[in-house]
């Protein structure tokens, strides 16, 4: 258990000092391997840190860990399963074609690699467009919620005025 906590502490220190997360050693313990996506991966992570009254040493350690976690940079992306699956399929096909051709990705039976790269780029573009569309719909939803709350307030005012009469 102590080795896992030490490895987690080392991982948090490395990720907080190295914002890109290049060459970070996640294999220090089972805990760090399980938290690979949470720390520096494709997820939005929230931490809960406990500060105990009467324990200044433990509270100081918890606050230091919290400060380290605040400086870790994650870049979460909404993953559309269909698009991600197609991207994975084309990347696997491209890698297998590279292996067949001896590492040359440009000459695989009539430049298939260029076709795969174009398909991957198109799918990534489509993924970005879908994410922008979702953001637009979320903004519209927030506007509708605000409008509903405004209408509910007006309704309550009307009911109150009738009650007063």
SS (H, E, C) 43-74: CCCCCCCCCCCCCHHHHHHHHHHHHHHHCCCC
Write down the pTM of the prediction: 0.44
Q: List, for residues 15-37, the tens digit of each pLDDT value.
A: 888 766 567 777 888 888 888 87
The structural domains of the chain, with segments of one domain joined by +, span: 2-70, 81-164
CA distance 165 to 160: 9
What fold does the segment set 2-70 form as a domain? Methane Monooxygenase Hydroxylase; Chain G, domain 1 (1.20.58)
CA distance 126 to 135: 14
CA distance 43 to 88: 19
Per-residue pLDDT, 105: 45
pLDDT truncated to tens, each residue of the chain (165 aa)? 888 888 888 888 888 887 665 677 778 888 888 888 777 677 778 888 889 999 999 999 899 888 888 888 776 666 667 767 777 777 777 777 777 766 544 444 445 566 777 777 788 888 888 888 888 998 999 999 999 999 999 999 999 999 998
């Amino acid at each position: 258990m102590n080795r896992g906590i030490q490895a987690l502490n080392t991982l948090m220190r490395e990720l907080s000092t190295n914002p890109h997360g290049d060459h970070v050693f996640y294999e220090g313990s089972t805990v760090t391997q399980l938290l690979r996506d949470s720390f520096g991966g494709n997820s939005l992570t929230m931490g809960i840190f406990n500060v105990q009254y009467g324990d200044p040493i433990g509270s100081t350690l918890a606050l230091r860990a919290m400060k380290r976690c605040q400086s870790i940079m994650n870049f979460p992306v909404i993953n559309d399963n269909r698009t991600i699956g197609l991207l994975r399929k084309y990347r696997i096909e491209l890698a297998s074609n590279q292996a067949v051709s001896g590492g040359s990705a440009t000459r695989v039976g009539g430049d298939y690699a260029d076709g795969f790269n174009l398909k991957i780029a198109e799918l990534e573009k489509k993924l970005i467009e879908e994410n922008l569309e979702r953001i637009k719909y979320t903004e519209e939803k927030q506007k509708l919620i605000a409008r509903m709350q405004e209408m509910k307030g007006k309704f309550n005012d009307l009911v109150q005025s009738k009650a007063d009469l």
